[in-house]
Amino acid sequence: MYYNEDTIVFLNGSYVKASEANVGLYNQTMHYGNGVFEGIRSYDTPDGTRIFKAKEHYDRLHYSAKKMHIKLAYSAEELEQITYTLLEKNNLKDAYIRPLVYLGENMSLTPTVDVHVVIMAWEWGKYLGDQALKVMLSSYQRPNPKACHVQAKVVGHYTNSILATTEAKSKGFDEALLTDMHGNIAEGPGANFFYEKEGKLYTAPLGNILSGITRQTVFEIAKELDIEVVEQFFTPEEIYTADAAFFCGTAAEVAPIGQFNDYVFPMNWEDTNSQMIQRMYKRRVSTNEYQNVFI
């Protein structure tokens, strides 16, 4: 699904076949989860293939690496250029791009000097599908920001996400919604969360969540459309008074949520401001427009 015999990946300065690349068994990322990564999308736009917000993603990769004491040898600009080359080599236009910075041999709990960079790309549909999602309140909380750097995209953090999604699916839901350590709503396992009430959008402030690049794009679009966005802490109970809700993330894009636990969002998605945001997001990424877009 992710690669075939012809797939090329970028690995430590070379473009090599995915099927021929290998990693050492004593690498610190595999044993302890110390590695950082990104999830990026490119789109087939009228101006050619364009990576959406490449700089923001590669700047965040640098931020994540720094927080984890990982020395990343490539600049954000270099990584962007490499990614365009990789897309070309694989004939990919609409693609999901996965840069991963993983570490070499080190079985101690100390920073690793040997740093590897791999970039992979494949065609991937909407991560959470096209249907309105059934979401459950997770019994898991997001990691405590005093235990790790929650704003860094670290490999090991995703064990929490896997537990939450697995629990939700095992109970017949599509996805989970997690609280922070104070019991306020934080985010999904791989996406940020917004709800809509009386036309306004509400989302958790930074501090206990990943600072999503799509979340930021939602802010930009909402501003252009004159839709108010409120960043504030809120409890799960408050969602039961909302008109609509959605997840947003690079892989998920803007994904409508139809139901939270037993509560069915009452407003027709087509009539919500959230739906306008969804449409504008789609338009923005597929035309590579950043500002002053009007429907």
Q: Which residues contact 75 (CB under 8 A, 6 or more apart)?
A: none
CB of 161 to ligand PMP, least distance (A): 6
Interaction between residue 212 and ligand PMP (CB under 6 A): yes
CB of 250 to ligand PMP, least distance (A): 3
Strands 263-264 and 253-260: antiparallel
Please, are residues 178 and 140 in contact by the beta-carbon 8 Å criterion? yes
Looking at the annotation, which residues are catalytic? 153
Choice between 92 and 248, CB closer to ligand PMP: 248
CB of 96 to ligand PMP, least distance (A): 11
Q: Which of 197, 196, 216 is nearest to 206 (CA)?
A: 216
Ranges within 229-268 binding ligand PMP (CB under 6 A) = 249-250
Choice between 106 and 250, CB closer to ligand PMP: 250
CB of 46 to ligand PMP, least distance (A): 24
d(CA 263, CA 258): 9
Site residue total, ligand PMP (CB under 6 A): 12
Interaction between residue 112 and ligand PMP (CB under 6 A): no
- How far, in whole angstroms, is CA 282 from its chain's centroid? 16
d(CA 19, CA 13): 17
DSSP 124-156: ---TT-SSPEEEEEEEEEPPPTTTS-TTS-BGG
Interaction between residue 72 and ligand PMP (CB under 6 A): no
Interaction between residue 187 and ligand PMP (CB under 6 A): yes
- Out of 168, 191, 222, 277, point to the residue binding ligand PMP (CB under 6 A): 191
Which residues contact ligand PMP by CB under 6 A? 39, 187, 190-192, 210, 212-215, 249-250
